[in-house]
Amino acid sequence: MAITLNNGFKMPMMGVGVATIMKNDEIKDIITNALKIGYRHFDCAAHYKNEAGIGEALAEALESGLVTREELFITSKVWTSDHGHVVEACKDSLKKLQLQYLDLYLVHFPIATKHTGVGNTSSELAKDGMLDIDTTISLETTWRAMEELVSIGLVRSIGISNYDIYLTRDCLAYSKVKPAVNQFETHPYFQRESLVRFCQKHQICVTAHTPLGGGVSSPQVYGSIYNILQDEVLQEIGNKYGRSPAQIALRWGIQRNVVVIPKTSKLNRLKENFEAFDFELKQEDMDLIKSIDKNYRTNLISTLAWGMDINA
């Protein structure tokens, strides 16, 4: 099942998120098992520091004939410290991933920080403890470099990540190549209906990172007080369909026409998540899930990246 982007390329509706999975042997097992299950979409980023391991797994899969490059959809992202070095950062990711091109390249966060060397995605703080923001690089400047990647053939599609309505609107105003995707947190407890509808109205595909909420996969990282898989409504709907709460949450996302990229390192979870394509929720259940929105963000930049909070 795939969605057609605004440039005509197709993107699978479910992918595998690989954030926080650091060990090479673990990441290789995840990629290989996911391919055997049927996944073709993998969501990577320079900041995850595991692109080399992913590249090894993909190279082995391609060489063995398990999959062809044309069947794959590989995403990566430029980190904040490389906003002034977008082309070089993309080439660095391609080298590590052992690929000639990316299917999608995203601006990971809408902010430029002090450059620390291409491929070095550590988050530097200034002496005052504040994030060392580079005020000489605008998001429009960054986007011009992203557009260059398309023109020289390093990427097929470009997009944005963690942009709100206002930043997305600005990107639409100055872009020559429109963003194909906006990837941001959305799940039953943080539905963001206005942002989802705005993007879709303007032919920007929505991808949900953290589609099950941060409290599920990594509560120690995200600091979430909620685990949506324990929600009574999701459990009741799951019982109705003979499905798990995770499958219900993912299916809800898919039926919103949102791409979902859940992260897991467990084989049984990979299989379970992929089975979200095997059924369909009735409208009454979609409406019921809409009623449990808590407007609760779990993917806080202050927790994940820098030790300070910005509303991205």
Q: How far apart are CA 196 and CA 53, in angstroms?
A: 33
What Cα–Cα distance (Å) separates residue 221 from each residue in 35, 201, 240, 263?
27, 33, 32, 13
The candidate with the shortest Cα–Cα distance to 112, out of 138, 93, 85, is 138
**Alpha carbon distance 198, 206 (integer Å):** 10
Q: Compute the distance between CA of residue 174 and CA of residue 167 in angstroms, rounded to an integer.
A: 11
> In the structure encoding, which two tokens stand for residue 153, read together?
């053939």
User: For residue 193, what are its two tokens?
Assistant: 């209906």
CA separation for the pair 87, 146 (Å, rounded): 8
Rounded Cα gap, residues 103 and 86, in angstroms: 16
CA dist 121 and 87 (Å) reads 15
Alpha helices per DSSP H over the chain: 24-37, 51-64, 86-97, 139-151, 165-174, 193-201, 214-217, 219-222, 232-241, 245-255, 267-274, 283-290, 301
Strand partners, 183: 161, 207
Tell me how crowded residue 111 is: count the other CB atoms within 10 A of its CB: 20
Q: Report the candidate in 149, 142, 139 with the shortest Cα–Cα distance to residue 105.
A: 149
48 is catalytic: yes
CA-closest candidate to residue 228, choices 249, 209, 208: 249
Cβ neighbours of 251 (radius 10 Å):
25
> In this structure, what DSSP letter does residue 106 have?
E
Options 39, 48, 163, 222, the catalytic residue: 48
Active site residues: 48
